[in-house]
């Protein structure tokens, strides 16, 4: 099992990026987040594989875990040990496929989904969205009580996502979440290291 030194995971979205995407990924990896989830679901399998090879190389350079997203076949072909999946894909995975991964995550939007993800063999889950966010315009956040309920009913680490910034991270930690996932902040901040330091444990 990968041991995360930070409790903040970067989730990528190159369409939000203000500079060359790989340059931004390098800056993020150099700042040493808990992990980088390469979430570029609009790409074809071959496009994703090409990008994944480049991102994996950057993450290896900085010894930051890289978690591929959705493209199970690509992750297996590249012999990566970590993948994050929507539940729809996770449900279709065979036990043999699951056995290829040391780190297996899923996105959950209810307690029932969280319990199912744990039963299906996940080593962590992402729960959201917790607060209102531009990524989910018009949809209210599910809130801290939702997060507390999930954290209190599963035995695997829970990472919160949705509208989380440095002013809210302590409330997420106090809800017993392992940490948080950030997308737009990492993609758009002026200085990645300063941005990530704003979430520092104990700050």
Q: Is the peptide bond between 183 and the residue preceding it cis, with omega within 30 degrees of 0?
A: no
Q: Average per-residue pLDDT in the chain?
A: 93
For residue 62, give Cα distances in angstroms to 11, 12, 25, 49, 144.
Answer: 17, 17, 11, 20, 33
Please tell me the distance from the alpha carbon of residue 2 to that of residue 144, in angstroms, as a whole number. 27
Residue 9, C-beta contacts closer than 8 angstroms, at least 6 positions apart: 33, 34, 35, 36, 37, 67, 159, 179, 180, 181, 182
Average pLDDT over residues 155-168: 96
Q: What is the dihedral of CA 73, 74, 79, 82, to 10 degrees?
A: -90
Nearest partner of 118 among 69, 92, 143, 153, judged by Cα: 153
Which of helix, strand or coil describes residue 75?
helix
Tokens of 100: 């290829």
Residue 180, strand partner residues: 8, 160
The answer on pLDDT for 192 being more than 60 is yes
Write down the pLDDT at residue 66. 98
pLDDT tens string 79-135: 999 999 999 999 999 999 999 999 999 999 999 999 999 999 999 999 999 998 767
Q: By mean pLDDT, which of 32-46, 77-91, 130-144, 161-175 is the weakest? A: 130-144
């Amino acid at each position: 099992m990968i041991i995360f030194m930070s409790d903040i995971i970067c989730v990528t979205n190159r369409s939000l990026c203000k500079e060359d995407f790989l340059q931004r990924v390098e800056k993020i990896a150099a700042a040493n987040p808990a992990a980088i989830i390469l979430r570029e679901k609009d790409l074809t399998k071959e496009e994703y594989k090409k990008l994944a090879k480049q991102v994996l190389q950057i993450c290896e350079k900085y010894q930051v875990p890289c978690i591929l997203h959705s493209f199970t076949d690509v992750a297996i072909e590249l012999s990566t040990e970590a993948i994050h999946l929507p539940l729809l894909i996770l449900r279709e995975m065979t036990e043999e496929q699951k056995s290829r991964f040391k780190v297996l995550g899923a996105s959950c939007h209810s307690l029932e989904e969280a319990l199912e993800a744990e039963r299906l063999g996940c080593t962590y889950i992402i729960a959201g969205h917790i607060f209102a966010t531009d990524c989910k315009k018009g949809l209210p956040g599910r809130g801290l009580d939702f997060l507390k309920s999930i954290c209190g009913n599963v035995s695997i680490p829970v990472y919160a996502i949705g509208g989380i910034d440095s002013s809210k991270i302590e409330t997420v930690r106090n809800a017993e979440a392992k940490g948080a996932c950030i997308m737009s902040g990492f993609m758009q901040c002026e200085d990645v290291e300063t941005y990530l330091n704003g979430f520092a444990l104990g700050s």
